[in-house]
Amino acid sequence: TYVVTDNCIRCKYTDCVDVCPVDCFHEGPNFLVIDPAECIDCSLCVPECPVDAIYAEGDLPDEFADFIKINADLAGRWPVIAASQEPLPEAERWAEVEGKRQFLEL
Ligand code: SF4
Ligand code: F3S
């Protein structure tokens, strides 16, 4: 499966959503997650993300290992998002920031 990680937080560009053939992205207040039960591993979403937030589970850097569970858990709580929308208002500023996990809103 593919996993959305830290860089998406407070940006939420949503370009990834438009290319997903199975609509497996779910939307929270300032982050998106992928439902691992629905993702078909097509990898189309990876190059769409302007901040490179999406990884194949097998390529996930160690520092992001906990995002496997975060994606799985939140996919069960958040609604599906099937079309892109405007990024969050301060997306450009937050795109430069690393270590944004503390800002993840549930
Ligand atoms: Fe959707 Fe494919 Fe990305 Fe999985 S890898 S989330 S199926 S676009
Ligand atoms: Fe997030 Fe990148 Fe998609 S910022 S919403 S994973 S395009």
Instruction: Give the closest ligand to the alpha carbon of residue 57.
Output: 1
Query: What's the pLDDT tens digit per position in 17-29?
Result: 999 999 999 999 9
The number of the ligand nearest the C-alpha atom of 54 reads 2
- Provide the CATH number for the domain around residue 10: 3.30.70.20
CA distance 22 to 51: 22
CA distance 53 to 47: 10
- Taking the centre of ligand 2 as the mean of its atom positions, its distance from the CA of residue 79, in whole angstroms, is 16
Domain count, the chain: 1
For residue 34, the model assigns a pLDDT of 98
ipTM for this prediction: 0.98
Token pair for residue 91? Answer: 């997306």
The three-point CA angle 27-33-36 to 5° equals 130
- 32 CA → ligand 1 middle, Å: 12
Average pLDDT over residues 85-98: 98
**Tell me, what DSSP letter sits at residue 83?**
S
Query: Which is nearest to 71 in space by CA: 30, 36, 106, 101?
Result: 36
Residues spanned by the domain of 19: 2-84
